[in-house]
Structure 1
């Protein structure tokens, strides 16, 4: 199943669960069971063509109402990238560095894309990726090799999985409210393309 369709289906199940709490365990609005999928033949996985930087840039330009991002003038210096890497104990993926240097940060739809604020990581709040990682480790909502980059209002959490780091790029997974982790994108370029397209009519 297409990952965006799966996310949408999960959200629909959540809304239905909220409408009929007496029929479901109120402490668990999501389920890993997929009874309808068991009777269907598994379809071959659909592979998405890797988006080029030019395609992504054009998509951002075409939809400024969805991709509300910054500019190179807003970007932090390379020193802050190095400090961030030292703090999270991981190299930042190349595609994510490109995003930080060219767009600094911003929002896609209603979702803040975590970035680097260029302030003391211990003192700031909000969508600074280092602050969020430190906080996540403190409250055990993430692990050392899972660096969160964005969260939705529906409880989905997108993160770099450093178990997949190949020296340059890191795959991005989404944790849906059931607790299951699903592969979402092979790099940050692909992640941005998918998130922008998710908001298109």
Structure 2
């Protein structure tokens, strides 16, 4: 599993060079109440590495691809919010009820947590879906983020 220390170093190395994240004092850094509300809306606990990310960076982009965050207030305008995106993708039938959408891109790929497969650390595997094809992309959110930053073609 990708360590958060390794991920933090990689983020620092690529910051401003394809990686645009906020910081822990960002307006997007969620409160515990917003985390709980989001978990209630999506129907599961969020994994520790994702919570580490949103608490430390708020959200942001990797090579132009938005990593969905937890917005301070959920509304119809919160299109970059993880609960908003997950609800929309589920309602449209693009992902199943155990999927939590974390990113999508212009190539028609959707990345999501498979919440039916939680490991001992509370992490979920990340899958990528393009059309009808789905495959495992990473063992955790930290692994997903590390791979998107270090090897964007993967």
Alignment partner of 2:76: what SS?
coil
The answer as to 2:11 corresponding to 1:60 is yes
Judging by fraction of residues, say which structure has more strand.
2
Q: Which has the higher contact order (CA 8 A, sep 6+)?
A: 2
Calculate the aligned-residue CA RMSD, in Å.
1.5
CA distance in 2, matches of 1:181, 1:137: 15
- Structure 1, unmatched stretches of 5+, are 1-49
Aligned mate of 1:137, from 90, 103, 117: 90
- Structure 2, unmatched stretches of 5+, are none
Could you state the TM-score of these two structures normalised by the residue count of structure 1?
A: 0.70
CA distance in 2, matches of 1:51, 1:88: 25
Could you state the TM-score of these two structures normalised by the residue count of structure 2?
A: 0.90
Superposed structure 1 runs of 4+ greater than 2 Å apart:
122-125
Aligned mate of 1:175, from 126, 129, 144: 129
Judging by fraction of residues, say which structure has more helix.
1
Aligned mate of 1:96, from 50, 55, 58: 50
Number of equivalences = 149
Contact 1:145 1:163 in 2 (8 A): yes
2:22 is matched with 70
CA distance in 2, matches of 1:118, 1:160: 22
| Higher radius of gyration, 1 or 2 | 1
